[in-house]
A and B are shown apart, each in its own frame.
Chain A
Amino acid sequence: MSHTFYIAMSYAVAALVTLCLIGWVWLDGRARQRELAELEAAGIRRRSAQPKTPEASKA
């Protein structure tokens, strides 16, 4: 095999692993944001994100 083959394979492996990593992080982020949006649409919010009621502000 020529040296060009080893150089091309090295850059291809590095590009493939890097692109898989970027794709995984991006898709994971989208999935989590979608899940959070679904929960909030169903009225389930974090306590700190819930609108303050007058009772809560009195307490």
Chain B
Amino acid sequence: MTESLAITKFSDLANPTRFLALAARLLPWMAGATAVLFALGLYLSFASEGDYQQGMTVRIMYVHVPAAWLSMMCYTVMAVSAVGTLVWRHPLADVSHKAAAPLGAAFTLIALATGSLWGKPMWGTWWVWDARLTSVFVLFLMYLGLIALNRAMEDPGKAARVSAVLILVGFVNIPIIKFSVEWWNTLHQPASVIRMDGPTIDKEFLWPLLVMAVAFTLLFFTLHAAAMRNEILRRRVSAQRRMAARLAGR
């Protein structure tokens, strides 16, 4: 009984009109919470002491690491949506992965740029073609490819199915990014937060990092909901223009 109720509630959200109403109600709260968390995160980031080895440069971590996590999380959200498109033909699934691609590209760009700016003073180089950096660069190219593919095809349904297949094939890159620092000898440091034996990072750095990570995650979900709303409206505009053209042709 409870399960069928949950399925019914989930199916209700599959209705674009209901999604628009829900987004209109939630978006101002989500945007407000994101702004508050960013203010708190930035305060904690700049109030924290420097690292004994890296000095104040450790502050780059508070934007680099959340952006890098988001770059992978966004692709995971797209992969789940791609399954929704191909298996259940969920009305919002293709809207979801199309809307998420530019967001993922932007977070990956932040991760790459801030990583490079962190690498120069710490490693003495802007860039190395090691496993972690190269696999994240490949992720960035995949996002750009998916954006181009969605824009190149006129039929949104066909574009969604082709994109969904490509997203699922490209998902193999996500575990490669995550475990690249363990599988290969890289200049990039191994994981220090998400580990089986718990974080190895000091609490003084962990708290600002976690607050910034939650702020970035909330920013992603806010922008994703807004971008999905925009995509639904874009499709309605196209449908109404086609209807107007048919009426004018009679």
Interface residues of A (CB under 8 A from B): 1, 3-4, 6-7, 9-11, 13-14, 17-18, 20-22, 24-26, 28-29, 32-33, 35-36, 39, 42, 44-46, 48
Contact B114 A13 (CB under 8 A): yes
B121 interface residue per 8 A CB criterion: yes
Q: Is the interface of B mostly helix, strand, loop or mixed?
A: helix
The residue from A11, A21, A32 contacting B234, defined by CB atoms under 8 A apart: A32
B113 interface residue per 8 A CB criterion: yes
A-B contact number at CB 8 A: 87
Q: How far is the CB of B117 from chain A (nearest CB, A)?
A: 5
Residue on A nearest B223 in the bound complex, by CB: A25
Interface size class of B (residues with CB under 8 A): 35 or more
A46 / chain B contacts, CB cutoff of 8 Å: 236, 239-240
Q: Do A14 and B67 contact each other (CB < 8 Å), given the known contacts A3-B55, A29-B229, A33-B233?
A: yes
B120 / chain A contacts, CB cutoff of 8 Å: 6
Contact B240 A45 (CB under 8 A): yes
Q: How far is the CB of B187 from chain A (nearest CB, A)?
A: 17
Contact A7 B226 (CB under 8 A): no
Q: How far is the CB of A36 from chain B (nearest CB, A)?
A: 6
List 17 A-B pairs, Cβ < 8 Å.
A6-B121, A7-B56, A10-B59, A11-B63, A13-B114, A14-B67, A17-B113, A18-B110, A21-B106, A24-B102, A28-B230, A29-B226, A29-B229, A29-B233, A33-B233, A35-B237, A36-B233
